[in-house]
Amino acid sequence: MNQWIAFWNILKKDMRNYYLKPPNISWGIIFPVAWTLMFFLRSREPLDIRALLPGIMSMSVLFGTTSMLAVTITFERRGRSFERLLLAPVSINLLMAAKTSGAVIFGTFNAGVPLILSLLWTDLTGVQWTVLIPAAVLIAVTSTFLGLFIAVSVSEVFEAQTFSNFFRFPMLFLCGLFIPIADLPWFLRPLSYVIPLTYGADMLKEAVNGNGVLPVQLSLGMLVLFASALFILSIRNVKRSWIG
Amino acid sequence: MSLSLLKSVTAAAVMRNLQGPILEIAGLRKDYGDIEAVRGLDLTLHFGEIFGLLGPNGAGKTSTINMITGLVKPTSGSISLKGIDCIAHVKRIQGDIGVVPDESNLYDELSGFDNLVFCASLYGMRKAVREQRATELLETFSLSDTGKRPFKAYSKGMKRKLTIAAAIMHQPPVLFLDEPTTGIDVESARQIRLLIKSLNRKGTTIMLTTHYLEEAQRLCGRIAFIARGRIVKTGTVDELLGGLRSDHLLHLTVGGQADQLAAMLHQHHPSLRCTEKGTHVVEISSDSPVELHPITAFLSGHGFPVYEARRVEPTLEDVFIAVTGINAGELESREKGGRKR
């Protein structure tokens, strides 16, 4: 019970201090709108919002969560306020779960923004919500843990941003959102399958347009596996690097 | 057993418990690659005492505190708090300790009150309890008027006080203070010293690190000098000073450069130990009483008048120099240098 008081208050503090700040809310709204406009401007044919939706949702979550968690944790470590959390009688697992929960919620909100905006222009009848919601949440979870992995590896806020991009851009091009995996050069294809976004994006495609390539159960299982592995790896790194 | 006997046995047991060790450290080591930060440190803290850990920057003070509090894993050695192995069960002991780091580590965006309430929540305190405790502590620390102000708007002294308040929100029996008065104004430092004393009177065992030797002398019951990762001397202030009290110590205020005159004097009176204590102050120490007339005559004869001669008691600074070979000025400049890094 005592541990959960700490969990809830860390989450509440992070939401209030970081995620619910006006710049971050506006980021959550502007980012998907900007991406949609970009596709609209370069498209020679009428824009199919529904076809774009899985990609926009994936990118919004990926960019939102990886940045936010890596930056906020690095920021707290620089200001040494993170030490206060490490000094508390709260298990590292629960502490990191509290820190990442805020980013997962923020990421899921980011996924919701393009979805709500698309309702203004298109009909979303037939969307498989039972696939779409877990996909959005699990993309947020894996991206958040990727952000945590980045946060452990850097000591400066600007490094967190640079290092995030090192992962994010290759992931975008390898996950099958822009170029189908089958059209990638043969030597790059195996890489696509070690990226969690591949499975998340495929689930979203299946949920919105019914054109996913992989079985939903496989994608779901792989995302859970990636989330668990990234969390365990990050906790191990936290213990080794921050309590060394 | 009669009631009165039972009472006296219980009282004796309580006294023993109060005087017994609360923290025991043995053979503690910490290596960072090739650097040996702490090299086999042994230390015991007793219930209810204020214990000072004194040493220059890089001596291993902060590394020691970080290992005790669970922020850093020791390379080897043992630490036990109230009989619990701090290394194996760090999360079990963290509820019993409060830590005030050398730099304030609260949240800039949160108000003073919210910082305290948040810190208490980390120890599982319920909302009503933590809000009441935060209000009480803001009042105790004379911060009630600024409780709603964001932490970033606080002065250095206020930040320090709030950081101490945050560390004692959960009423820990043991408090670690790392350089509690460094870099703050005289009045805030005085208030913090009074608060430390008051906390100790209420039963909190305190371990503090400082490079202000006078502060340690005023506050601490026992002191350990640490240098190059090892404890070089431990004792009560009286025990530490005892070794030097047999010395006869004089300060002469002279009309000339003290360093040159100290050298001249030592050359002429080899039995006297003469050192520069200030630009115009020469310190003379001897195992036997110092005869003043030959000294003043010698200096006056060379055209250097003696304005004042004062017998002084040895201080912790003298003990520190004697055991570490580091003088206080050097200690302070090392600390400042260290902080800039």
Residue of B nearest to A1 (CA): B124
Q: In A, which residues are within 8 Å of B95 by CB distance? A: 89
Q: Per-residue pLDDT for A114 more than 70?
A: yes
Q: What is the pLDDT of residues B92-146, one digit of tens each?
A: 999 999 999 988 889 999 999 999 999 999 999 999 999 999 999 999 999 999 9
- The minimum CA-CA distance between A7 and chain B, rounded to whole Å, is 8
> Token pair of A22, please?
């006006």
Tell me, yes or no, whether B237 and B279 share the same domain: no
B339 lies in a domain?
Answer: no
Q: Per-residue pLDDT for B5 more than 50?
A: no
Rounded CA separation B316/B328 (Å): 10
Interface test with A, best of B86, B122, B151, B168 (most A CBs within 10 A): B122
Q: Which residue has the tokens 């004089």?
A: B250
Rounded CA separation A81/A68 (Å): 17
- The minimum CA-CA distance between A70 and chain B, rounded to whole Å, is 18
Q: Per-residue pLDDT for B281 more than 80?
A: yes
Q: Per-residue pLDDT for A36 more than 90?
A: no
Q: In A, which residues are within 8 Å of B99 by CB distance? A: 87
- The minimum CA-CA distance between B300 and chain A, rounded to whole Å, is 58
Average of per-residue pLDDT across B212-229 = 90
> Token pair of A100, please?
């990442």
Domain end, chosen from B241, B261, B285, is at B241
Rounded CA separation B11/B252 (Å): 53
Domain end, chosen from B211, B241, B271, is at B241
In terms of residue numbers, what domain contains B179?
A: 17-241
Q: Per-residue pLDDT for B312 more than 70?
A: yes
Residue B331: per-residue pLDDT? 54
Residue B133: per-residue pLDDT? 96
Residue B332: per-residue pLDDT? 55
Domain of residue B30, CATH code: 3.40.50.300
B12 lies in a domain?
Answer: no
Tell me, yes or no, whether B114 and B260 share the same domain: no
Residue A80 has its nearest CB partner, among B94, B105, B126, at B105
Tell me, yes or no, whether B67 and B189 share the same domain: yes
Domain end, chosen from B188, B220, B241, is at B241
Interface test with A, best of B99, B121, B125, B178 (most A CBs within 10 A): B121
Average of per-residue pLDDT across A146-157 = 83
> Token pair of A127, please?
């969307």
Tell me, yes or no, whether B237 and B253 share the same domain: no
Residue A28: per-residue pLDDT? 75
Domain of residue B256, CATH code: 3.30.70.270
pLDDT interval class at A227 (50, 70, 90)? very high
Average of per-residue pLDDT across B295-301 = 90
Tell me, yes or no, whether B103 and B45 share the same domain: yes
Residue of A nearest to B110 (CA): A17
B232 lies in a domain?
Answer: yes
Average of per-residue pLDDT across B172-201 = 91
- The minimum CA-CA distance between B245 and chain A, rounded to whole Å, is 42
Predicted complex ipTM: 0.86
Strands of B230-236's sheet, edge to edge? B97-100, B174-178, B205-210, B50-54, B222-227, B230-236
pLDDT interval class at B8 (50, 70, 90)? very low
Contact B101 A5 (CB under 8 A): no
Interface test with B, best of A84, A85, A93 (most B CBs within 10 A): A84
Q: Per-residue pLDDT for A244 more than 70?
A: no
- The minimum CA-CA distance between A234 and chain B, rounded to whole Å, is 17
pLDDT interval class at A71 (50, 70, 90)? confident
Residue A91 main-chain phi, psi, to 5 deg: -60, 150
Q: Per-residue pLDDT for B173 more than 80?
A: yes
For residue A57, what are the CA distances in angstroms to A22, A53, B265? 21, 6, 84
Residue A41: per-residue pLDDT? 72
Q: Tell me the H-state helices in chain B.
A: 3-19, 61-69, 90-93, 112-121, 127-140, 156-167, 186-201, 213-219, 237-245, 258-268, 292-301, 316-324, 328-340
Tell me, yes or no, whether B159 and B53 share the same domain: yes
B128 lies in a domain?
Answer: yes
Is B230 in a helix, a strand, or coil? strand
Q: What is the pLDDT of residues A208-221, one digit of tens each?
A: 999 899 999 999 99
Q: Per-residue pLDDT for B263 more than 60?
A: yes
B252 lies in a domain?
Answer: yes
B316-324 and B328-340 are packed helices; what angle lies between their axes, rounded to 10 degrees? 80
The better pLDDT of the pair B242, B193 is held by B193
Beta bridge partners of B100: B177
Tell me, yes or no, whether B152 and B129 share the same domain: yes
Tell me, yes or no, whether B71 and B171 share the same domain: yes
> Token pair of B62, please?
């902060």
The CA-based diameter of chain A, rounded to the nearest angstrom, is 59
> Token pair of A46, please?
């009428």
Tell me, yes or no, whether B253 and B237 share the same domain: no
**Number of domains into which chain B is organized:** 2
Tell me, yes or no, whether B144 and B260 share the same domain: no
Interface test with B, best of A5, A7, A99 (most B CBs within 10 A): A5
Q: Per-residue pLDDT for B340 more than 50?
A: no
B38 lies in a domain?
Answer: yes
Tell me, yes or no, whether B254 and B235 share the same domain: no
Residue of B nearest to A81 (CA): B105
Q: How do strand B50-54 and strand B205-210 relate by DSSP bridges?
A: parallel
Round the average pLDDT of chain B to a whole number and report it.
86
Q: What is the pLDDT of residues B50-86, one digit of tens each?
A: 999 998 888 899 999 999 999 999 999 999 999 999 9
Q: Decide if B70 touches A, using CB distance below 8 A.
A: yes
B56 lies in a domain?
Answer: yes
Q: How many CB pairs under 8 A join A and B?
A: 68
Residue B326: per-residue pLDDT? 67
Other C-beta atoms closer than 10 Å to the C-beta of A79 total: 16
Tell me, yes or no, whether B75 and B184 share the same domain: yes
B321 lies in a domain?
Answer: no
- The minimum CA-CA distance between B106 and chain A, rounded to whole Å, is 5
